[in-house]
Amino acid sequence: KMAEKQEEPSNAQNGEPDNAEEGEGKKKKLKREDLPPFEIVTGERLPAIFFKFQFRNVEYSSGRNKTFLCYVLEIQGKESSTSRGYLEDEHAAAHAEMAFFTNLLPRCEPHLRYNVTWYVSSSPCVACADSISDTLGKNKNLRLSIMVGRLFMWEEPEMRAALKKMKSAGCQLRIMKPQDFEYVWQNFVEQEEGEEAKGFVPWEDIQENFQYYEEKLAEIL
C-alpha cells in the first residue's frame, strides 16, 4: 500500500501544496533560530502585508515595534552608482538605522559624495538619532533625508532634543505624504506575480494622520 502511495503524483504537481503547512512551520522555525540580529535584504522587496501594517501612519502604533527602513543610496564620483533595498530590525540587537551605517555604509570615502534617502516606518529612537547626528557631523560628504511614517515618542523632551540635533547636523527630516507611501509601494514592496501591478490603496485616515504628524514635527523642529 505504501509503495503504491509513493508512486502517486504528489499534490504539489497538481497545483495543491503538498503538506505546505507542515513545511512552512519547519521553515519558519529554522529561520527564526538562524536569523542574525537584524536582517539586511538588498535588491528584494518587502512583503505587502508588512508594509500595510508597519508603515501605517496611525497615531497609536501598538504592536508596531519593529522598524522597517527602505533606502536609496546614491554614490557620486567618477563612477556613480545607486543601490536600494530594505532593512528590518530583528530582536533588539541593533536598530535598522544603525545597521545601515555598520553594514551598508561603514565608511564614507572622502572623494565621493553620498546621498542617502530613507523611508522609515517610524522616526529613530534617541540613541539612533544621536548616532545619526554624529555620523553626519563626521562626514561632510554625506547627505541624509529621512521620510518617516510616524513620530516615535515625540512627546518626550529627550526625543524632541535628539530630533532637533539631527536637523542641525544637516539631516532632512519629513513626514511621509500619501505620495511617499505610494512611492515605497511601487519601489520596495513585492508585487503579485502574473498580475497587473496592484496600485497603492491609501488607507482611510492617511491624509489626516500625515497632517497630524506634520504639525507635531513642525512644532518640534
**Which residue in 24, 97, 192, 208 is the catalytic one?**
97
How far is the CA of 3 from the CAs of 8, 14, 16, in angstroms? Answer: 9, 20, 21
CA distance 100 to 146: 13
Burial of 148 (0-12, 13-18, 19+ CB in 10 A): buried
Cα four-point dihedral sign 121, 125, 127, 130 = positive
CA distance 93 to 167: 26
Owner of C-alpha cell 494622520: 209
Reported as type and span, the H/E element at residue 195 is none
Other CB atoms closer than 10 Å to residue 158's CB: what's the count? 12
Q: Is 59 a catalytic residue?
A: no
How far is the CA of 76 from the CAs of 8, 111, 113, 138, 191, in angstroms? Answer: 58, 9, 5, 18, 30
**Which residues are catalytically annotated?**
97
